[in-house]
Structures are given as C-alpha cells and as structure tokens.
C-alpha cells in the first residue's frame, strides 16, 4: 500500500503480504479474520467498503515502482493468491515485479535455505533497481 499511496519509494519488497483484505477474510482461518477486524477498526457487519479502500489491489493503478514479492506456498494466514493477484496486476500494467514462492513455507519463513535465498534475491533486486 505504501507504493500505491506515496511516491517516496523507488522500489518495494513484500513478504507474504495482503493485496485484497476482503478476499483475505474469505480464505484465512477464523483467528486471523477477527484480527483483521481489530486492526482495521471494522466489524463483521460493516467492513467491505473500508477494507476495499485499504487494499493495495484497489489502488494498483497508482503503483509505479518495481516490487519484489515473496510467498510461502503453505501459508494459511495470507494465502498465495494474495501475492499472485498483486503480481499479476502489476505485470499486466508493465510494472517491474519479481515473484518468489517457496514450497514447504508458511507465513513467516522458517527454513534457513529459504531465508538466505529470499535475502539474496532481495539484495540482487535492489542492486538491479538502484
């Protein structure tokens, strides 16, 4: 969302990030659904418009900076579809975007190999951009 609402960033990195809050509520587990309402100051009865406005996918046309995205394929908190939607949307607009997915990883990478690979990819991405 920072890339969509500001022009201060030359590039961005997103680790298992949310692109559509309303879709997240449909597919995340029950605990996270309640957490989303608390974080956004909404309720189950009144949330759709607020969550749509606060979703990066709603403002994808405003994103102009390159983005690198990392996603665990076993993430049950923020499902891979969240990353895929933002990546597909940026690619469709011709915005530079890299997508790295990791099997056997969930929300928050745990494997040393994954962490090293992600950090090296992020560093290489910044070197390319800057």
The structural domain count of the chain equals 1
pTM of the predicted structure, to 2 decimals: 0.90
Mean pLDDT by 10-residue block, N- to C-terminus, for the chain (130 residues)? 93 95 79 71 79 92 97 94 97 97 96 98 97
CATH value at residue 30:
3.40.50.1820
Distances in Å between the alpha carbon of 34 and those of 11, 15, 21, 37, 40?
31, 21, 12, 5, 10
Q: What is the pLDDT of residue 32?
A: 66
pLDDT at 22: 84
SS3 56: helix
The order of strands in the sheet holding 67-72 is 12-15, 67-72, 97-102
pLDDT on residue 80: 96
User: Which domain does 22 fall in, by range?
Assistant: 2-129
């Amino acid at each position: 969302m920072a890339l969509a609402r500001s022009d201060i960033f030359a590039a961005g990195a997103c680790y298992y990030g949310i692109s559509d809050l309303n879709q997240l509520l449909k597919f995340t587990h029950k605990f996270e659904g309640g957490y989303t309402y608390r974080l956004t100051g909404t309720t189950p009865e009144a949330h759709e418009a607020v969550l749509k406005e606060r979703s990066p996918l709603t403002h994808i046309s405003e994103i102009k900076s390159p983005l690198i995205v990392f996603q665990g394929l076993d993430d049950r908190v923020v499902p891979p579809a969240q990353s895929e939607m933002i990546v597909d949307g940026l690619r469709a607009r011709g915005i530079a975007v890299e997508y790295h997915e990791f099997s056997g990883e969930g929300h928050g990478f745990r494997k040393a190999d994954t962490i090293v690979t992600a950090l090296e990819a992020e560093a290489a991405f910044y070197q390319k951009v800057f």
